[in-house]
Amino acid sequence: MNGAERRIRELEAIVAPHGSALVAFSGGVDSSLALAVAVRALSRERVLAVTSCNETYLPSELEKAREFAASLGVKHEVVETRELDDPNYASNPTNRCYFCKSTLYTELGRMARERGYGCVVDGANADDEGDWRPGRKAARELGVLSPLAEAGVGKDEVRRLARHLGLPTWDKPALACLSSRFPYGQRITPEKLSQVARSEEFLRSRGFRQVRVRHHGEVARLEVAEEEMERAFRMREEISSALREAGFAYVALDLSGYRSGSLNATLKRKKKSLPVLSG
């Protein structure tokens, strides 16, 4: 047994004792691996994949999630969670993700209990424990099982294991919830989310893989991977035109390129002034 297979067996051993599982499935590489592990540990008949579809989720991702679940032979359902109805979430405090995950995992926990599933599984990995992730607090409070984090599987190993299993998502670019595009304290609205979604969908349609459109009021701050920056600059007129059509007045290319969670850089600098709501 090679190292990858041994690690996968470790993950299966975390899930197997629960007998059945409802998996919070976004379609990204982390939740794809968690879903695949659950199927191996429990059989596809004992697993349900559930995707939360709302204004913060790119429309194009839903069909990809459906296709992946179907490839595993797993039943897949979609729930509509309405995080923006919660003023604690919409006001975009620094612990915004806590309220999002509380809403999601409360709903998934209810579904699991009503249908007799033994646990709710998510795709959080070990590296998520070290970053600013208020949603992890909600997961712990609501008893969500995080096999990747529990086994100490980080981002790089997630991709190696997903590739070992032949999962088509193994090299899929990271894709966080659209609310992560807004500086903390800037209110999130359906209209602003639509601006970001339209802009990012356009950029992906032009072949950009790792991209974020950060929303700074009238300014769109574009982050792309370092190897794609020259192409973005060459396409600046087309990109600027498309993002202005999406509702932005100005378009800026961030010279530092794509950084996961780049808006968290303000947390230490502005810790005293940024809003944090109790939760």
Please tell me the predicted confidence (pLDDT) of residue 268. Answer: 57
The separation between CA 79 and the C-alpha centre of its own chain, rounded to angstroms, equals 16
Q: What is the pLDDT of residues 113-141, one digit of tens each?
A: 999 999 999 999 999 876 677 889 999 99
**How many Å apart are CA 11 and CA 16, to the nearest integer?**
9
Choosing from 97, 100, 119, 177, the catalytic residue is: 177
Global pTM reads 0.88
User: Quick one: what percent of the chain has pLDDT higher than 70?
Assistant: 92
Task: Name the architecture of domain 178-267.
Answer: 2-Layer Sandwich (3.30)
Extract the residue ranges of the chain whose pLDDT is less than 70.
1, 130-131, 261-262, 264-279
Which single residue is written with the structure tokens 């810790």? 271
The answer regarding whether domain 3-165 maps to CATH 1.10.3720.10 reads: no
Please tell me the predicted confidence (pLDDT) of residue 60. Answer: 85
Please tell me the predicted confidence (pLDDT) of residue 176. Answer: 86
Domain residues of the chain, as ranges?
Answer: 3-165, 178-267
Please tell me the predicted confidence (pLDDT) of residue 38. Answer: 98
- Please indicate whether residue 53 is annotated as part of the active site: no
Please tell me the predicted confidence (pLDDT) of residue 274. Answer: 54
Please tell me the predicted confidence (pLDDT) of residue 106. Answer: 95
Please tell me the predicted confidence (pLDDT) of residue 157. Answer: 97
